[in-house]
A and B are shown apart, each in its own frame.
Chain A
Amino acid sequence: MMTRDDLNTLLPFHANGTLEGAELAAVDAALETDADLRAELAALQAIRATMRSEEMQSPGDLGLARLLRVVEAETAIAPAPVAANDNVVPIARLRIWQIAAAVVFAVGLGINMLPDGTGTPEMESAMSEDAAPAAEQGFALASGGSADFTVIFAPDATEAAIRALLLEAGVEITSGPSALGLYGLGLLESGRDDAARSILAASEIIDDLQ
């Protein structure tokens, strides 16, 4: 026999629909005869509906591009077959190549993983319904502003570090990443070209600045 506290404890799980078996039967039986319990359940259902209706902008494809960039960089550190000397690639070029490969791969996913039959069936079914619109957005940012600078961020640059740098330099991301991993940066109204350039040039998380 359940106590009132037991029933109270289980009520949120009745509200979210996960209660089963004997526990569900016991709560349902109590609800039939207890108006206070029914009122509380209605309140919990309202709270749940309110919480779930809140919109939230997640990192989406930009977050995925970042993830794959770092994964690709980590993978590239693994021992590779020994190459002849004339195949040695300069470090700077290698990093751009790695980033390009990661982003091209990510863009490919954005196209191939759409639930239109072009991805593998297993992976399509593993995508959530609300993930599909994000996949359709691709990787272009839609701010529409023109770029005063073009940069490549270091593969291990964090969101927080990038944000801090953009604020310090008085710029915003206007486009990117391109297939080569390039981001366009535009000056904010308060920003100055020479000051922003020197801040970006001195930053450890900028691999390349044009």
Chain B
Amino acid sequence: MDSDHKFLMTRIAGGDKQALAALYRALERPVYRFIVSRLNDPHEANDILHEVFMDVWRSADRFEGRSKVQTWIFGIAYRKSIDVMRKRGRMDLTDESFDMVDDSPDAVTCLAAGQEAEHVRHCLETLKDDHKSAITLAFYQDMTYGEIAEVAGVPEGTIKTRIFHAKKLLLRCLSGRIERGVA
């Protein structure tokens, strides 16, 4: 798949608009989903998605092929959504807002049984942006920690730390909600 994307990037660098359209069709949905998960605003995400692919069009010739095309494009989306959040003035949401802490596996495994989408959505929103991004890339996009580090522009160790904390906080939040029977 990545060799196909790299082929398209070469064509885009040469000004091929059909190749741009093909790459857009291949990656639009996951990139959009990632942006929405960060910004929580589908309309604003539309504009950022547009800007991301305009950047792809304008700077395809600077893509050196050392990373996956998908990783490179997610990196653009990551930086653009950071810009938006900075403008909004909300970079760090609290991740210490849980009033009940219980990360026992028994409570956590209740997740497998019920309608938990609302719980997961809620708990993801309580995470700090960096934590949420790392978990989102790991679970929505199935990226390796090395790829996530590339997207975020940080060392792999930083991503491992973020994932460690994000997972812990996510499980605590979910356990707390399940224990309390939050609908």
Contacts and interface: CB of A to CB of B under 8 A. Distances in A.
Interface string B23-58: 111111100110010000011101101100110010
A87 interface: no
B144 A60 contact: no
Contact of B108 (A11, A40, A128): A40
A71 B111 contact: no
A44 B111 CA distance: 9
For the residues of A in contact with B, the DSSP-based class is helix
- Chain A interface size range: 35 or more
Given A126-B4, A159-B46, A68 B17 contact: yes
Nearest to B20: A71
B113 to A, nearest CB: 9
B50 A159 contact: yes
A122 B28 contact: no
Given A12-B138, A159-B47, A159-B50, A131 B26 contact: yes
A9 B44 contact: no
For the residues of B in contact with A, the DSSP-based class is helix
B109 A43 contact: yes
A43 B112 contact: yes
Contacts of B143: 16, 18
A50 interface: yes
B157 to A, nearest CB: 10
A58 interface: yes
Contact of B112 (A5, A11, A42, A127): A42
Interface in B121-150: 121, 124, 135-136, 138-140, 142-145
Contacts of A51: 120, 124, 136, 139-140
A203 interface: no
Given A42-B112, A63-B28, A71 B54 contact: yes
Interface string A1-27: 000010011011101111000000000
- Chain B interface size range: 35 or more
B32 A106 contact: no
Nearest to B161: A9
A54 interface: yes
Contacts of B32: 56, 58-59, 63
A71 B18 CA distance: 11
B160 interface: yes
Given A39-B106, A64-B28, A131-B29, A50 B120 contact: yes
Given A59-B32, A64-B25, A71-B17, A163 B163 contact: no
A15 B47 CA distance: 32
Interface in A36-82: 36, 39-40, 42-48, 50-54, 56-60, 63-64, 66-68, 70-72, 75
B169 interface: no
Contacts of A163: 43
A64 B31 CA distance: 14
Nearest to A17: B142
Contacts of A160: 43-44, 46-47
A99 interface: no
B182 interface: no
B105 interface: yes
14 contacts: A12-B135, A39-B108, A42-B109, A43-B112, A44-B167, A53-B117, A54-B117, A56-B36, A58-B28, A64-B25, A123-B8, A123-B18, A126-B23, A159-B46
